[in-house]
Amino acid sequence: MDVRNGMGLRPLGTSAAEFEQDLLSNLYYRRGTTVESASTQDAYETLALTVRDRLAERRVRTAAAHYAANPRWVYYLSAEYLLGKQLEQNMLYSGTDRIARIAMKQLGLDPDEVEGLDVEPGLGNGGLGRLAACLLDAMATLDIPAVGYGIRYDLGIFKQTFKNGAQVEKPDDWSYQGNPWEFPAPDDRQTVFFYGHTERDANGKTCWIPGEVVLGEPSHMLVPGHGTDTVNIVRLWRARGSESSFDLSRFSAGQYAEAVDEAVHAENISKVLYPDDSTESGRELRLKQQYFLVSCSLRDIIRRFRLRNTDWSEFPKKTVIQLNDTHPTLAIPELMRLLVDEEGLNWDLAWTIVRQTFAYTCHTLLPEALETWSVPMFERLLPRHLEIIYTINEHFLAEVREAFPGDVDRVRRMSLIQEEPDRRVRMANLAVVGTQAVNGVAELHSELLASTTLRDFAELWPAKFHNVTNGISPRRFIKIANPTLSSLISEGLGGDEWINDLDRLAGLEALADDESFRSRWRAVKQANKVRLGLGDPESLTDVMIKRFHEYKRQQLKLLHIITMYHRIKANPGQAYVPRTVLFAGKAAPAYHAAKHVIRLINAVAAVIDADPAVSPYLKVVFPPNYNVTLGSLIIPAADLSEQISMAGKEASGTGNMKLALNGALTIGTLDGANIEIRDKVGADNFFLFGLDTPAATALKNNGYRARDHYDRDPELRHALDSILDGKFLGIGREVGESLLNWDEYLTLADYRSYVDAQDQVDAAWQDTDQWTRKSILNTARSGFFSADRTVRDYAAGIWHVNPVKVGR
Ligand code: F58
């Protein structure tokens, strides 16, 4: 039944004229103005609302269908979501992109100008946050009942600017104009407790007497599926002071700061994404954020469960909670607390329910990235949760002792509490112990998790460990980001079904040998380079776009650039393949080594630019503030995708998939999902270099000396010397010294192999037809990397959920 009609509402029209009427009406009733006096911001907000209304109607039907089905739900808990801009996506999904533009023009509005005001909510750092957004998109597209839970940070990831080539961070007040995509739901607000102490009553029941009360106010954004009526939601929590947090008597006494102190303190919880954790108070704030997210979300999940169910033993049948890394792991002791302390279930039943409910995705291999919290801080903030963790640990370690009698060292390693050098709670251990499934995000990563990082656990529970290779939204990263290529593909395949069935791209293989298709393919790439507007569109566009981290080895790319520079300087008369090398990415504000690399890149770019002998062949560009929006412009323009991490360090990578899907060829190591990309696209269409994981591990274990490579390789020595001698505006000595004296990530060991592979890139580029063929084959064979496939893998292997179709 059409819910609108059932409610006596007028159906929303699908013609441009009706859309125009709705625009006018929203402008009048929602913004209180008319088209004559509307500002561009008025026009933008109105457009957003008019598009949103179409999705809201689907949302109502989705909620009704889900309620009727009482299905098993996926609840995705993530401290981060990099959703990207919403307008273009929502116009596409609601089928209003064409009529909206016509209607705006009819009203004398400039669609590009109006749409230009859409803002990207930067509620994440990088790959992990974007993955969460891609998975939500795919779940909705596959009609899986799902809710994403997160935090509505006031300030998202910092805005990156450069001052004298150095990264400077500015706050990102992304919603200062409001956010038209958000539905506030103050009725569903939750109360969250912190600090205090625990007490036992006469019956031995434990009770937590909290010391601070904070409110969590939710709002949600719509997560529409593509080509279906399903509209799921992502619910984001914002912290508010409780009613008593404002001290009226102090205010009246003129103590204004003191009067709002408590409220400000509470609201700081959702103030910024990833507060600096170099101080004790910063670390406590992060732990507070994590508990805030978990506490609000679990209460909401239980509220939803109770709408249709009463029996707690049904809970895991109706609920699967996916933990996106360890940040929401406190959900495990929190659900224990709710079940045992508040619902009165016995421990064993509660533990069975908890374990069946949760699943955990790990996104790292770096041991230093596995979260731990100091026990004293944890105890102060969450006294009851620490007790629960101790009890879980007791039971768990008994199981370990039984499975591995006498293995004291193993017990020490697996304990949820690290004892030396200081006492800390190990969140990854807790996440493994409290869940029914643990997965890595690419084949190699999942293997390495089981054989190294989480080996003890995989030996105890081998069946718990899974792989689910990451994927990306084809809607976001090709259909929307690359409209011209999408049209060409649809033409080539005779339809656009491939957007929701990415394996169909295989049909392009036959066209790789078609001369006219190849030339159109090239023309699209060319036009995308013009659209990007950085560097000569004729040149090989070589891109490295990702967070700055030493293991990702932007330094290696830089050494190659310097080597090219030296070669051109030494032989100015020769013909070189012109390249535009594009870097984009942010470094964590306190990550000094990564910031030195950024500064050096900008210095090298300036030196090359100023050198007329080199600049015709080589240009380095570094647009600031990499985000989903900028990525969507760069990716379609790329010829070469740099995936050059030290083998065994990059969990998966997802930029690698986006670039291959858009026809870039990869130069990469055997790391993360690069391996699967190479397997799919074919070794001939991929430039492989460097040590593999066993070789890299062996080299490190046998006493790696970076200096040996420097001594042996004159080109490398020249490159490194030029940095050390300050040839690039005197910048970057720290980078050079760190590589020469330490080189944690084996950059110098892979230098020669990398430079040789880049020479092969140059040679391949000169055969234009062959290059284009390879480019088409990269796209044709990237179907596997659709997030739809990823979600199907989760659904079949971990979640055991079924789609629910939304009726008309
Ligand atoms: C990334 N992790 C992995 N973490 O590095 C990447 O290989 C993988 O493809 C991606 O997850 C998706 O699985 C990542 O982005 C973070 O951003 C952390 C967030 C919390 C603070 C520390 C960084």
Residue bearing the CA closest to ligand 1, atom 23: 125
CA of 276 to the centre of ligand 1 (A): 17
Residues with catalytic function:
363, 546-547, 552, 654, 658
For the stretch 226-280, pLDDT in tens is 999 999 999 999 999 998 899 999 999 999 999 999 999 999 999 999 988 889 9
State which of 128, 153, 439 you would mutate to test the pocket of ligand 1, scoring each by most atoms of that ligand within 8 A of its C-beta. Answer: 128
* pLDDT value at 405 more than 70: yes
Q: Is the CB of 128 under 6 A from ligand 1?
A: yes
- Write the DSSP string, 276-317: --SSHHHHHHHHHHHHHHHHHHHHHHHHHHHHH---GGGHHH
What strands, in cross-sheet order, belong to the sheet with 417-418? Answer: 372-374, 424-426, 417-418
* pLDDT value at 6 more than 80: no
Q: Is 43 helix (H, G, I), strand (E, B) or coil?
A: helix
b/e per residue 638-657 (b: at least 16 CB within 10 A): bbbbbbbbbbbbbbbbbbbb
- In the numeric block, which tokens belong to residue 313? 């033993």
Above pLDDT 70, what percent of the chain? 99
Cα 287 to the chain's mean position, in Å? Answer: 20
**Of all atoms in ligand 1, which is nearest to the CA of residue 441?**
13
Report whether the peptide linkage leading into residue 483 is cis, meaning its omega lies within 30 degrees of zero. Answer: no
Q: Is 131 helix (H, G, I), strand (E, B) or coil?
A: helix
Check residue 263 and give its pLDDT: 96
Q: Is the CB of 656 under 6 A from ligand 1?
A: no
What is the mean predicted confidence (pLDDT) over 772-798?
A: 98
CATH superfamily of 474-782: Glycogen Phosphorylase B; (3.40.50.2000)
- In the numeric block, which tokens belong to residue 62? 């989705």
Residue bearing the CA closest to ligand 1, atom 4: 128
Q: Is the CB of 652 under 6 A from ligand 1?
A: yes
**Of all atoms in ligand 1, which is nearest to the CA of residue 445?**
7
In sequence order, which residues have a C-beta less than 8 Å from that of residue 68 and are 6 or more positions away? none
| Residue boundaries of the structural domains of the chain | 70-84+120-370, 474-782
CA distance 670 to 692: 6
- From the number of C-beta atoms within 10 Å of its C-beta (0-12, 13-18, 19+), residue 160 rates as buried
Per DSSP, 673 falls in state T
Q: What is the pTM of this model?
A: 0.98
Pairing of strands 166-170, 358-361: unpaired
- Which CATH class, in words, describes the domain spanning 70-84+120-370? alpha beta
What is the mean predicted confidence (pLDDT) over 605-624?
A: 98
Q: Is the CB of 672 under 6 A from ligand 1?
A: yes
What backbone phi and psi angles, to 5 degrees, belong to 583? -105, 145
* pLDDT value at 3 more than 70: no
For the stretch 39-72, pLDDT in tens is 999 999 999 999 999 999 999 999 999 999 999 9
What is the mean predicted confidence (pLDDT) over 177-185?
A: 97
In sequence order, which residues have a C-beta less than 8 Å from that of residue 404 and are 6 or more positions away? 410, 411, 460
Pairing of strands 166-170, 190-194: unpaired
Check residue 208 and give its pLDDT: 97
- Distances, alpha carbon 85 to alpha carbons 41, 91, 302, 403, 654, in Å: 16, 11, 31, 51, 18
- In the numeric block, which tokens belong to residue 125? 């750092």
Q: Is 766 left (phi over 0), alpha (psi -120 to 50) or beta?
A: alpha
What is the mean predicted confidence (pLDDT) over 461-484?
A: 98
Contact predicate 92/339, CB 8 Å: no
CA of 374 to the centre of ligand 1 (A): 23
b/e per residue 729-767 (b: at least 16 CB within 10 A): bebbebbbebbbeebebbbbbbbbebbebbeebeebbee
Q: Is 247 left (phi over 0), alpha (psi -120 to 50) or beta?
A: beta
More confident residue, 715 or 369: 715
Match 């029996």 to its residue by tokens.
311
Check residue 573 and give its pLDDT: 86
Which helix (H) or strand (E) covers residue 770, if one does?
helix 768-780
* pLDDT value at 368 more than 90: no
What is the mean predicted confidence (pLDDT) over 778-787?
A: 98
**Of all atoms in ligand 1, which is nearest to the CA of residue 650?**
7
Give the count of beta carbons closer than 10 Å to the beta carbon of residue 8: 6
Q: Where are the alpha helices (DSSP H) in 192-279?
A: 248-252, 256-267
* pLDDT value at 10 more than 80: no
Per DSSP, 179 falls in state -
Per DSSP, 461 falls in state -
- In the numeric block, which tokens belong to residue 218? 């939710």
Q: Is the CB of 118 under 6 A from ligand 1?
A: no
| Banded model confidence at residue 1, pLDDT cuts 50, 70, 90 | very low
- The C-alpha angle 462, 340, 432, rounded to 5 degrees, equals 20
Per DSSP, 499 falls in state G
State which of 273, 363, 628 you would mutate to test the pocket of ligand 1, scoring each by most atoms of that ligand within 8 A of its C-beta. Answer: 363
Contact predicate 595/603, CB 8 Å: no
Question: Residue 87 is which amino acid?
Answer: L
Above pLDDT 90, what percent of the chain? 96
What is the mean predicted confidence (pLDDT) over 558-562?
A: 98
Instruction: Report the Cα–Cα distance between both ends of the chain, in Å, rounded.
Output: 6
CA distance 379 to 181: 39
Per DSSP, 438 falls in state E
Report whether the peptide linkage leading into residue 405 is cis, meaning its omega lies within 30 degrees of zero. Answer: no
Which helix (H) or strand (E) covers residue 241, if one does?
strand 231-241
Rg (CA), the chain: 27
In sequence order, which residues have a C-beta less than 8 Å from that of residue 646 and are 6 or more positions away? 551, 553, 669, 671, 691, 696, 745, 746, 747, 750
Q: Is the CB of 363 under 6 A from ligand 1?
A: yes
Pairing of strands 206-209, 424-426: unpaired
For the stretch 745-757, pLDDT in tens is 999 999 999 999 9
Angle between helices 733-741 and 714-724 (to 10 degrees): 140
b/e per residue 476-500 (b: at least 16 CB within 10 A): bbbbbbbeebbebbeebbeebebbb
Number of residues written out for the chain: 808
CA of 334 to the centre of ligand 1 (A): 25
What backbone phi and psi angles, to 5 degrees, belong to 582? -115, 125
Q: What is the mean pLDDT of the chain?
A: 97
Q: Is the CB of 673 under 6 A from ligand 1?
A: no
What backbone phi and psi angles, to 5 degrees, belong to 749? -65, -30
What is the mean predicted confidence (pLDDT) over 502-530?
A: 98
CA distance 602 to 613: 19
**Bridge partner residues of 101 (DSSP):** none
Give the count of beta carbons closer than 10 Å to the beta carbon of residue 374: 17
CA of 777 to the centre of ligand 1 (A): 28
CA distance 676 to 681: 9
Q: In 3D, which of 324, 336, 340, 345 has the Cα closest to residue 298?
A: 336
CA distance 265 to 283: 15
User: In the chain, what's the furthest Cα-to-Cα distance?
Assistant: 91
CA of 63 to the centre of ligand 1 (A): 32
* pLDDT value at 367 more than 90: no
CA of 550 to the centre of ligand 1 (A): 14
CA distance 197 to 129: 34
